[in-house]
């Protein structure tokens, strides 16, 4: 096999969508698995909607996910430029070839008239295809239209018959040319249409594999015709399943957050998001092994093993995976990633210990402020006093803890563990279970029935604050 070259070609008309990120991931994993090249190409031929800030945001989010590229707008390569807006001269050259071969013709139809015909066809339950009005215009007829100020678009002359191609995931795919219709390859302003620019770019950039969503299958029929007309070899096509919401429809805002940026800002880890997106259409060789690093994904990924089954986005599964990655990640990196989510505490001398204490509770970094409330917000004692003192020995436990805190050092979590262990041993001899011993302490110190381990709470609050809270609880008995 020649060097594998794949591409991801986003339109800078919005932030990077989860579905698009999944496509980028499959391209990147395949390229890295076989030692090929990943190309980033910007499809910015829509001047009204394409914005530089979206291009920048997309590139930032791809890099945040760890999906780097070998050639692109910021990395010059042998097939530059990598923005479609800068490749107009290449499209015009290829369009001229099709005109010379009689495989494209000029269309003078009014866009508004075409839109009305399209709406009428849809209303009648018909497929909206171009009716071929300009397909066989004579030279005189064309000249008359141009003299009247009509600026033509350029349409591809779709030949009759079946259009066949092989898809790595779908097998043999057949379309009838009757469902395609002559399509525009150059607009009246000279800019290239989507189908034409994609094919010319893929062909001239040496793309060997086109990996994209199955919603492009119909477009691929058009692309096959263009590849053949321009006498370029077909790439390998692989159309993966779409990303669906829980109701089985295409993922959209009504299903919740849809952009990578939203998940990034909510505190999801890039390795967790790529891990989850990969699992939506692919299963690792070792069944049941789901928590995978980016390196493990690259090593195990096989393009041909992508499933054709619909992929349902499950936020619960993503949360679980993210939590697993949080607990596996390097702790120093976790602390640094946590700081923006708790800027009000990030300079605290015990910030590292705070994060360590809540690490096992986190599903995402955005939950950090909630779990750190035990250290910042004094508890409303009254609602928990009744629950804390449900058995007669609870008061004795609290008094004994205050006494120990007054007498002993509390410079580390380990010292706090020793102190609480001594309390536990003392009251176990009186028939109390660990839960009965520690629950009233937790309720009074934090006002919550669950949270960070008690030794961390006592150490981070410190002797004075811990004693103050415990005494306040006793005063309300």
Give φ, ψ of 220 to 5 degrees: -65, -35
Contacts of 37 (CB under 8 A, 6+ apart): 3, 4, 5, 6, 31, 70, 71
Question: What is the predicted pLDDT for the residue at 285?
Answer: 87
Mean pLDDT is lowest, of 160-169, 226-235, 332-341, 425-434, for 425-434
Question: What is the predicted pLDDT for the residue at 385?
Answer: 73
Mean pLDDT is lowest, of 48-52, 360-364, 420-424, for 48-52
Question: What is the predicted pLDDT for the residue at 234?
Answer: 98
Class of domain 378-475: mainly alpha
- Give the mean model confidence (pLDDT) for residues 351-373: 96
- Give the mean model confidence (pLDDT) for residues 169-186: 94
* Residue 274 pLDDT greater than 80, yes or no: yes
* Residue 1 pLDDT greater than 60, yes or no: no
Catalytic pick among 144, 253, 430, 463: 253
Mean pLDDT is lowest, of 237-241, 274-278, 393-397, for 393-397
pLDDT in tens, 293-319: 999 999 999 999 999 888 899 999 999
- Give the mean model confidence (pLDDT) for residues 77-82: 95
* Residue 383 pLDDT greater than 80, yes or no: no
- Give the mean model confidence (pLDDT) for residues 251-280: 90
* Residue 477 pLDDT greater than 80, yes or no: no
Q: Is 144 a catalytic residue?
A: no
Question: What is the predicted pLDDT for the residue at 256?
Answer: 67
What's the start-to-end Cα distance of the chain, in Å? 79
pLDDT in tens, 45-71: 887 888 999 999 999 999 999 999 999
DSSP characters for 68-126?
--SBBTTB--TT---BGGG-HHHHHHHHHHHHHTTSEEEE---HHHHHHHHHHHHHTT-
Percent of the chain with pLDDT over 90: 77
The token duo for 175 is: 């379309």
Contacts of 159 (CB under 8 A, 6+ apart): 177, 225
Question: What is the predicted pLDDT for the residue at 98?
Answer: 98
pLDDT-derived band of residue 255, with 50, 70 and 90 as boundaries?
Answer: low
Rounded distance, CA 142 to CA 119, Å?
27
Contact 77, 71 (CB under 8 A): yes
Mean pLDDT (the chain) is 93
pLDDT in tens, 187-223: 999 999 999 999 999 999 999 999 999 999 999 999 9
Residues 286-303: b if buried by 16+ CB within 10 A, e if exposed: eeeebbbebeebbebbeb
């Amino acid at each position: 096999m020649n060097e594998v070259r794949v591409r991801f070609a986003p339109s800078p008309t919005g932030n990077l969508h989860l579905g698009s990120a999944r496509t980028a991931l499959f391209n990147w994993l395949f390229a890295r698995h076989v030692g090929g090249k990943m190309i980033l190409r910007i499809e910015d031929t829509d001047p009204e909607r394409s914005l530089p800030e979206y291009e920048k945001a997309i590139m930032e989010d791809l890099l945040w996910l760890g999906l780097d590229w070998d050639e692109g707008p910021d990395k010059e390569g042998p097939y530059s430029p990598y923005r479609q807006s800068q490749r107009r001269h290449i499209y015009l050259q290829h369009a001229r070839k099709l005109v010379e071969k009689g495989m494209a013709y000029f269309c003078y139809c009014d866009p508004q008239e075409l839109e009305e015909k399209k709406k009428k066809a849809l209303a009648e339950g018909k497929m909206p295809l171009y009716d071929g009005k300009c397909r066989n215009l004579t030279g005189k007829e064309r000249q008359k239209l141009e003299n009247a100020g009509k600026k033509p678009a350029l349409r591809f002359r779709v030949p009759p018959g079946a259009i066949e191609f092989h898809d790595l995931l779908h097998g043999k795919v057949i379309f009838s040319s009757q469902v395609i219709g002559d399509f525009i390859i150059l607009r009246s302003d000279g800019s290239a249409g989507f189908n034409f620019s994609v094919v010319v770019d893929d062909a001239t950039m040496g793309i060997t594999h086109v990996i994209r969503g199955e919603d492009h299958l119909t477009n691929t029929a058009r692309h096959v015709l263009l590849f053949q007309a321009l006498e370029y070899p077909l790439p390998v096509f692989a159309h993966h399943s779409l990303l669906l919401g829980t109701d089985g429809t295409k993922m959209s805002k009504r299903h919740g957050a849809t952009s990578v940026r939203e998940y990034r800002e909510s505190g999801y880890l890039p390795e967790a998001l790529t891990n989850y997106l990969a699992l939506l259409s692919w299963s690792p060789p070792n069944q049941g092994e789901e928590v995978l690093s980016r390196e493990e994904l690259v090593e195990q990924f096989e393009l041909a093993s992508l499933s054709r089954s619909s992929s349902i986005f499950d936020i619960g599964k993503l949360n679980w995976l993210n939590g697993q990655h949080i607990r596996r990640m390097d702790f120093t990196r976790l602390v640094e990633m946590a700081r923006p989510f708790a800027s009000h505490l990030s300079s605290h001398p015990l910030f590292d210990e705070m994060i360590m204490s809540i690490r096992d509770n986190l599903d995402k970094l955005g939950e950090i402020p909630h779990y750190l409330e035990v250290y910042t917000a004094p508890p409303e004692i009254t609602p928990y006093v009744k629950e804390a003192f449900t058995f007669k020995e609870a008061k004795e436990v609290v008094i004994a803890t205050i006494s120990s805190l007054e007498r002993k050092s509390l410079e580390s979590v380990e010292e706090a563990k020793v102190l609480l262990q001594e309390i536990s041993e003392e009251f176990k001899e009186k028939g109390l279970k660990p839960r009965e011993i520690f629950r009233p302490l937790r309720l009074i110190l934090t006002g919550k029935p669950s949270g960070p381990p008690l030794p961390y709470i006592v150490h981070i609050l410190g002797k004075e604050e811990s004693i103050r809270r415990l005494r306040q609880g006793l005063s309300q008995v």
